[in-house]
Amino acid sequence: MEERHLERDKRSEARGFALELAAALQGHGASAPKIEALIDGVSLKLGVDTQVFMTPTALMATWGQASRGHTALVRVRAGGVDLDRLASLEAVAGLVGEGRMSTRAGRAVVSAIVGAPDRYGAWMTTGSFGLASAASARFFGGGWRESAAALVVGLCVGLLGLALSRRQSTAPLFELVGAGAATALALWLGGVMGPMSPQIVLMSGIVVLLPGFTLTVAVSELSAGHLLSGASRLLKGLSSLLALGVGTALGGQLAWALGAPSLGAPQPLPWWTEVLALVVATMASVAIFQARLKDAPVIVAAGAVAFWGASAGTALLGPQLGTFLGAFAVGMAGEFYARVSGRPAAIPQVPGIMLLVPGSVGFRSVTAFLEGDPTRGIESAFSMGMVAVCLVTGLLAATALVDITQSGGFLERRRSAGRDPIGGEGQAER
């Protein structure tokens, strides 16, 4: 009888660990295919029959047979991507699955990871928004004036997000209010700082609000057969684009009512500023995605591979296939990094992908519709879809190629030996 109770308690702890791990992964930016694959693997090693069904805001887990099993439904508040926490959670899953940590201890560590403060504070993250906006202005073809104005707009958008996120009632207004404020400020700066392109300043200033990554994850989930999760993310991305477009229209009307800005063509910058912008953008993504500082060299290298891979592909094959080539390159780099270091491939891949995501194209589509130009809006929407599909295809091709060519020798041994226990330094440094 006592052995039966012990076995029941053991299974109950295993179920609780699987459920808490899935909720933690979901809340910090993991996709549905990734979560389900990880939970299936851990549950198999723990000897519990678990089936997990994911959506962006809820998860449902079932253990045992349908007629006699247990089912749990958990509401999840989706958050941004936190690379440090994701790496720590995957490490805990590996330790529990290998029997090097009990499920009870695993649940305690998962709770500690989720409850720990962010690696970078709100002010540093807000400053990173400004740096990312300034670097994006260079990528969009802006000059010194556009980069300086984008820095100001990005900082203001970050501060506005910091203020609105304090209340649950005002948080949903962030995209609309942020886009409106960014538009008005970009046009006003055009009159204060001299001739410039307000369009470049606006696109750069709201780059952190563009849902390109959400749209990319949605397409990847749809391609993997996770239709409900993918469709939900797709609708969330489209609603974000619509809110940004409406906010931009309102902010533009306000700015023009106060006075017309001084419009002008961007002044060309020397070639080395593109390298500087790439370093600044990738370093800013370290704080935005809460990655460890020691991962910064890997993230910068992945950003360079993605950006220049896509640039070379665009010059040779066109924009869509260029995006495929950039995504394939950063996907290969991420998969190799994961197999050598034992840490998630998302650490180099997510910041690298952010340089390729089609959010700006989707934003142009919405603004075109609002300006009464449906033809240009449809063309931009189709281009956005093509870029997203090419990006996801490039990542899938990289993963498939690495899996096919993996010998199971050196790389697999390194992956096992290099596992970061309990998130390694990542959790200890918090």
What's at 297, amino acid-wise?
A: P
pTM of the model: 0.83
Burial of residue 45 (CB within 10 Å: 0-12, 13-18, 19+) is middle
Q: Are β-strands 70-75 and 50-54 bridged in parallel, bridged antiparallel, or unpaired? A: unpaired
pLDDT, tens digit, 9 for 90 and up, residues 13-51? 888 888 889 889 988 888 888 888 888 888 888 877 777
Higher pLDDT, 145 or 253: 145
CA–CA separation, 321 vs 315, rounded Å? 10
Q: Three-state secondary structure along 50-110?
A: EEEEECCCEEEEEECCCCCCEEEEEECCCCCCCHHHHHHHHHHHHHHHCCCCCHHHHHHHH
pLDDT, tens digit, 9 for 90 and up, residues 116-167? 898 888 889 899 999 999 999 988 888 899 999 999 999 999 999 888 888 8
Q: Are β-strands 58-63 and 50-54 bridged in parallel, bridged antiparallel, or unpaired? A: antiparallel
pLDDT confidence of 420, banded at 50, 70, 90?
Answer: very low
Best CA proximity match to 115, nearest among 28, 181, 34: 28
pLDDT, tens digit, 9 for 90 and up, residues 47-96? 777 778 888 888 888 876 655 667 888 888 777 889 999 999 999 998 88
What's at 75, amino acid-wise?
A: R
Please give the mean pLDDT across all residues of the chain: 81
Best CA proximity match to 329, nearest among 290, 303, 366: 303
Domain ranges (residues) in the chain: 2-115
Question: How many residues in total does the chain contain?
Answer: 430
Could you tell me which residues come within 8 angstroms of residue 220 by beta carbon, excluding any fewer than 6 positions away? 31, 33, 230, 392, 395, 396
